[in-house]
Amino acid sequence: MFDVSHNTCKLEAHQIDGQARKLYVHRKGATRAFGPGAEGLPAALAPYGQPVLIGGSMGAGSCVLAGTNESKTRAFSSACHGAGRRMSRRAATRAWSGRHVLDELRAKGIIVKSLSMRGVAEEAPGAYKDVEAVVDCAEAAGLAKKVAYLTPLICIKG
């Protein structure tokens, strides 16, 4: 189990114009992606880099990546935390019904638990970007490298 926050502000050491500086790094919609050997990583993760979890939609998988040392200079050791929406929640509820989304996901073997059908419609798979394309971009930019792809079995919409 690994918990990843995507809205933080933390004091960190980074290089600015060749000088070590302490900076408050605010990540809104991003997550930490420290590379191998980074200070503060648990010993078990130090050789590999920090886990970076990039979630897809309820119908697509999620990806596990590892932070890179290159991300330190490119993005203050940051990477995206998810595929990201391609349409607003309101637009998604106009395009899909919660019942339709549940049935579609059930046909794929994915169980969804939610308190509301509106919440399910808001999170319809079509409302999100292609997670694999987003992950490919993060890797190509040197922010993190792919480790594993996870297939959804159960989605809980809180």
CA–CA dist 137, 133 (Å, integer): 6
Q: CA 60, 152, 102 angle in degrees (round to 5)?
A: 75
- Beta strands in 30-74, from DSSP E residues, in sequence order: 30-32, 51-54, 62-67
Residue linked to tokens 């503060």: 40
Instruction: Tell me, yes or no, if 81 is annotated catalytic.
Output: yes
Please give the Cα distance from 25 to 39 (Å, whole number): 16
For residues 114 and 101, give the distance between their C-alpha atoms in angstroms, rounded to a whole number: 12
Catalytic residue chosen out of the listed positions 6, 14, 81, 100: 81
Point out the residues that are catalytic: 81
